[in-house]
Chains A and B, each alone.
Chain A
Amino acid sequence: MRMVSAGPFERWLYPTRQGLYCEPGRFFIDPVRPVERAIVSHGHSDHARAGHGSVLATPETVALMKARLGPLGARSFSAHPCGVPLDVGGVRLTLHPAGHILGSAQVAIEYGGARCVVSGDYKRQADPTAAPFEPVRCDLFVTEATFGLPVFRHGASEREIGRLLASLEAFPERAHLVGVYSLGKCQRVIALLRAAGYERTIYLHGALKSMCDVYSALGVELGKLAVVGDRDRRALAGEIVLAPPGELGGRWSRRLGDPVTAFASGWMRVRARARQRGVELPLVISDHADWCELVQTIAETGAEEIWVTHGREEGLVRQIELMGRRGRALALLGREEEAE
């Protein structure tokens, strides 16, 4: 089913119910339903689903997918490094770092003299756990728009980590429970804490352990970690505890007594969002490009046409118009609100 009708690119790259499809290469990019051939930009579950025939991704993404989905997550995995072009049915395909999480890549495809870059999720801020985003000149740029409104400007994550450490100093008798997504955000927050000189053991909700193990195995230094397990409020007073965001107001958190609840997310920039979560210490730390990075990246790619996938498409499409380029919202199924 084709949703976009005009233009030269749509003849060979178009959205379908399964996801974005490259017709001459006969592959999908980040398909949301099982397909024969999938290129996966990164390991988050809304991009890396189980049940495909063969999956091509960076070695790190393959490792994360295997850990997450088990060896049966796909019939076969091919690990392909960034920067090495590959011919797929007459389409030249190259992966480029996207800076989103460990192993995340943009997918560049060249066909019939045109180059398209499908960014997947990306960010431009420095991140000790992910290779930095590489701008690629192209004709068509497919971008996310998670933070596609000018209210979203993330600021330095080091400063946010500083606020967490200051709170720890101000409330040394309370555990500091930080909501983080298990893949990417969790390890980034740990790495940022280490970079800020925090050397104490960092405690984890059990659900966060396996992804941290993969990061460690892939050579990302995370320092001393321990699963919370049976430890009670006394043992965790004044410590940093990381848990999936869903646990912030959950029953699991009761073992921490009266923790300071923090949430590391780009959404925390907006007060109503933080209050909705009952968060006491909102930390604006995001794995997604903020407004300025989206605008900057679109300009740097030089693309005349930009397709905007999930997020606040309306705002970004308006901005692309103001920049004198062609922008259109691409409704991809299964990408409602990006877990951030």
Chain B
Amino acid sequence: MKAFAELLDRLAYTHGRNEKLRLLKVYFARTTDPDRGWALAALADGLAFSFPIRRTVIELIGPKLDAELFRLSRDYVGDTAETVALVWPEPEGKRGEPPRLSEVVKGLERAGRGELPRLLEGWLDRLDANGRWALLKLLTGALRVGVSARLAKTALAEMGGREVSEIEEVWHGLSPPYEPLFAWLTGTAPRPDVTGAPVFLPLMLSHPLEDEELAHLDVGAFSIEWKWDGIRVQVVSTGATTRLYSRTGDDISRSFPEIVEGWRGQGVFDGELLIVREGAVAPFADLQRRLNRKTVSRRMLEEYPAHIRLYDALRIGDADLRSLALCERRARLEAWWASGPPPRTDLSPLVAVGDKNELIRLWSGTRGVGIEGMMLKRRQSPYLAGRPKGHWYKWKRASLTLDCVLMYAQRGSGKRSSFYSDYTFGVWAGTLQDSELVAVGKAYSGYTDQELLELDRWIRQHTLERFGPVRRVEPTLVLEVAFDAVQRSSRHKSGVAMRFPRIHRIRWEKPAREADRLDTVIALLEPKTATGHARGADEERPDSPWFRLR
């Protein structure tokens, strides 16, 4: 628990991906089984304990600290678990040995409900402040230290000198505390055999299509599809068991029971998860309502029916198809589907394209029909894990741009921590005579290093107010912002937010009053139900404090 607490503490304060990887690798290498396996499970998937943690700790601290002092402390710290960890009395005399992580996990599994408070109290007495914080975070189920399952697996891969995809292929055949996995990675045992288990197979990913590549593109060599705006998923079925995985290999079966329960046919299939009502794809925001749910109500199932639009097969029956050419896999997918399609599925249609001019014409029209863009896949490509060059391209529809006014700037993190690099910008709302700026988005990319320097200097010279790492600036600088779409947002006072915004140009010369108006932004909202689809709000980072305040 001590090493795990130290790891969480460092991770919580470390911004860089490489630094996080290094901390994880050191921890996994230095910690023994089964503790490191439990830590891995907590970091990758979160350990779920059904335990009223908040109430229990408040009951435990009650007799130990004056209620008024606890209230003042809680108000100052802003987090109950952290406050309890900090004010918990240090034991008189020598502290007992801190519990091991595995002891905590086993203890929680075994203990009856009535025993939990006493058990927890004992552990808290044996831990220092940081250990207490880590324990309470672990019990709340949300570590929030900025480590994704993918990052944890990447650290394992680097530790064992393997590819992440090799870890992903066995991951879902194993369970915490992952002893066979560590044995393999440290070279003391062969790779775990997960034959017959419904394991995730690493996906083949695409590259954005660059102008240069388009210029030399041989259209005839490619199979072309619409780029659907759902989430990429993999269905794995052994016949007896079916699992649904996200593109990062997270098991999301529980959120979509109608898909896994109704599935027919053994194999591994690649497709797009969508919400489809009467044949029409619903906005991405509808799909978001279904994501990250542990249980799904009947009403959710009826109002947000899930659907998979299939476009590839990695295995059908016992046959591994990955070494076959795409056109061959597609033929087998079509034949399989025709012989008895699973409910709530269809095939992503192939788009017939005569030549490059027709391709460009189709692509230019994608905004009108609400499709995210096009996918170009080389007909002869085998199914290759990762992001191999020259095989699959995504060609997203052209960006929109608007002139917005810089409102707030926030310091970046890591290498950008001395720069104001994250920008919240707005457009004018109200009448022409009586206008105010309302925020429509936040961007932290698109500028050059030189422009970042200039923006940083301008911001420091035009600050009106400072709140911690954030500055409110004079509303006088116009930024031309490129973005993919406009979506509704209850988080913004403006009621709308841009998706994928980035700084396209800095309009030093443009008077702020000539920037765009909210009406213009609202006019870009896509219809509620498009024939193809509308857009969602998944990429907006909701971490800017005033997005919530205003």
Nearest B residue to A255 via CB reads B418
A257 to B415, CA, bound (A): 7
User: Is A282 an interface position by the 8 A CB rule?
Assistant: yes
Whether the pair B76, A149 counts as a contact (CB closer than 8 A) is: yes
Q: State which residues 252-291 of A face B: CB under 8 Å.
A: 253-254, 257-258, 261, 269-272, 274-276, 278-282
**Nearest CB to that of B467 among chain A residues?**
A276
Alpha-carbon separation in the docked complex, A274 to B73 (Å): 17
Q: Which residue of A150, A170, A250, A258 contacts B22 across the interface (Cβ within 8 Å)?
A: A170
Cβ–Cβ contact A271 & B417, under 8 A:
no
- Report if A318-B19 is in contact (Cβ < 8 Å); known contacts: A149-B76, A151-B86, A278-B469: no
Within 8 Å by CB of A272, from B19, B78, B415, lies B78
Closest chain B CB from A281 CB (angstroms): 7
Known: A171-B19, A276-B469. A249 touches B73 (CB 8 A): no
- How would residues 20 to 32 of chain B score, 1 for a CB under 8 Å from any chain A CB and 0 otherwise? 0011001000000
Q: Does chain A have a CB within 8 A of B129?
A: yes
Q: In the complex, what residues of A have CB within 8 A of residue B76's CB? A: 149, 151, 270, 312
Do B13 and A149 have beta carbons less than 8 Å apart? no
- Give Cα A46–Cα B456 distance, bound, in whole angstroms: 32
Q: Is the beta-carbon distance between B26 and A150 smaller than 8 angstroms?
A: no
A-B contact count (CB 8 A): 82
Q: Is the interface of B mostly helix, strand, loop or mixed?
A: helix
> Is B12 engaged at the interface, CB distance under 8 Å to the other chain?
yes
Q: Pick the contact of A271: B72, B73, B82 (CB < 8 A).
A: B82
Check if A1 is an interface residue, CB within 8 A of chain B.
no
Give A261 to B416 CA distance when docked, in angstroms: 12
A276 touches B468 (CB 8 A): yes
Q: Is residue B109 within 8 Å, beta carbon to beta carbon, of the partner chain?
A: no
- Of the candidates B26, B68, B73, B469, the one whose C-beta lies within 8 Å of that of A151 is B73
Asked if B69 and A318 make an inter-chain contact with CB atoms under 8 angstroms apart, the answer reads yes
Cα(A158)–Cα(B468), bound, Å = 29
Specify the chain A residue showing the minimal Cβ separation from B76: A149
Across the two chains, which residue of chain B brings its CB closest to A322?
A: B66
Closest to B130 in A: A155
Q: Indicate if A2 sits at the interface (CB-CB under 8 A).
A: no
User: Which residues of B115-157 are within 8 A (CB) of A?
Assistant: 128-129
Nearest residue, chain B, Cβ from A257: B415
A170, A269, A276, A322: the one contacting B86 at CB < 8 Å is: A269
**Contact among B66, B86, B90, B456 for A270, CB-based, below 8 A:** B86
Say yes or no: is B100 at the interface (Cβ < 8 Å to chain A).
no
A270 CB to nearest chain B CB (Å): 5
- B281–chain A nearest beta-carbon distance, Å: 40
- Whether B418 pairs with A249 at a CB distance below 8 angstroms is yes
When distances are taken between beta carbons in the complex, the residues of chain A under 8 Å from B12 are 271
Report which of A150, A278, A318 forms a contact with B417, defined as CB distance below 8 A. Answer: A278
Residues of chain A lying within 8 A (CB to CB) of residue B468: 276
A16 at the interface (CB under 8 A from B): no
A80 lies within 8 A of chain B by Cβ? no
B83 touches A151 (CB 8 A): yes
Judge if B87 is at the interface, Cβ distance under 8 Å.
Answer: yes
Contacts of B413 in A (CB 8 A): 278
Given A258-B415, A276-B468, A278-B469: A319 and B78 interface contact (C-beta under 8 Å): no
* Chain A interface residue count, Cβ-Cβ cutoff 8 angstroms: 35
User: Is B77 close to A, CB under 8 A?
Assistant: yes
Distance from B397 Cβ to chain A, minimum over Cβ atoms (Å): 36
B86 to nearest A CB, angstroms? Answer: 4
Q: Which of A248, A261, A270, A312 contacts B72 (CB 8 A)?
A: A312
Contact between chains at A280 and B13 (CB < 8 Å): yes
B513 contacts the other chain (CB 8 A): no
Which of B15, B16, B73 is A149 in contact with, Cβ under 8 Å? B73
CB of B14 within 8 A of chain A?
A: yes
Q: Contacts A249-B418, A276-B469, A312-B76 known; A153 to B22 CB distance under 8 Å?
A: no
Q: Which residues of A contact B23 (CB under 8 A)?
A: 170
B332 is an interface residue with CB less than 8 A from chain A = no
**Distance in Å: Cβ of A285 to nearest Cβ of chain B:** 15
Cβ B418 vs Cβ A254 within 8 A: yes
> Which residues of B, 389-420, contact A by the 8 Å Cβ criterion?
411, 413-415, 417-418
Contact of B418 among A170, A250, A270, A322 (CB under 8 A): A250
Closest A-chain residue to B414, C-beta based?
A: A258
Are B411 and A278 neighbours in the complex by a CB distance under 8 Å? Answer: yes
Distance, CA A278 to CA B422, complexed state (A): 14
Task: List B contacts of A149 (CB < 8 A).
Answer: 69, 72-73, 76
In the bound complex, how far is the Cα of B86 from the Cα of A315, in angstroms? Answer: 15
Which residues of B lie under 8 Å from residue A155 when comparing CB positions?
128-129
Q: How far is the CA of A253 from the CA of B22 in the complex (A)?
A: 24
CA distance A270 to B133 in the complex (A): 11
Cα distance A278–B13 when bound, in Å?
Answer: 8
CB-contact partner of B77 in A171, A270, A278, A314, under 8 A: A270
B129 with A153: CB separation less than 8 A: yes
Cβ of A267 to closest chain B Cβ, rounded Å: 11
A281, closest chain B residue (CB): B13
Q: Nearest CB to that of A251 among chain B residues?
A: B418
Q: Which residue of A lies closest to B74 (CB)?
A: A151
Q: Is B65 an interface residue (CB 8 A)?
A: yes
Chain A residue contacts of B415, Cβ below 8 A: 257-258
Rounded to whole angstroms, the CA-CA distance of A314 and B69 in the bound complex is 9
Q: Which residues of B contact A280 (CB under 8 A)?
A: 13-15
> Chain A contacts of B128 at CB under 8 A?
155
The distance in angstroms between the C-alpha atoms of A314 and B76, with both chains bound, is 12
A274 to B, closest residue via Cβ: B13
Q: Name the A residues within 8 Å of B87 (CB-CB).
A: 150-151
What are 10 sample pairs from A and B whose C-beta atoms fall under 8 A apart?
A153-B90, A170-B22, A248-B417, A251-B418, A258-B414, A274-B13, A276-B468, A278-B417, A312-B72, A319-B69
* 5 closest Cβ pairs, A-B complex: A151-B86, A150-B87, A276-B468, A258-B415, A151-B73
Could you list 15 further interchain pairs (A-B, Cβ under 8 angstroms) beyond the known A151-B86, A270-B86?
A149-B72, A150-B87, A152-B86, A155-B129, A171-B19, A171-B22, A249-B418, A269-B129, A270-B77, A276-B468, A280-B13, A280-B14, A315-B72, A318-B66, A322-B66
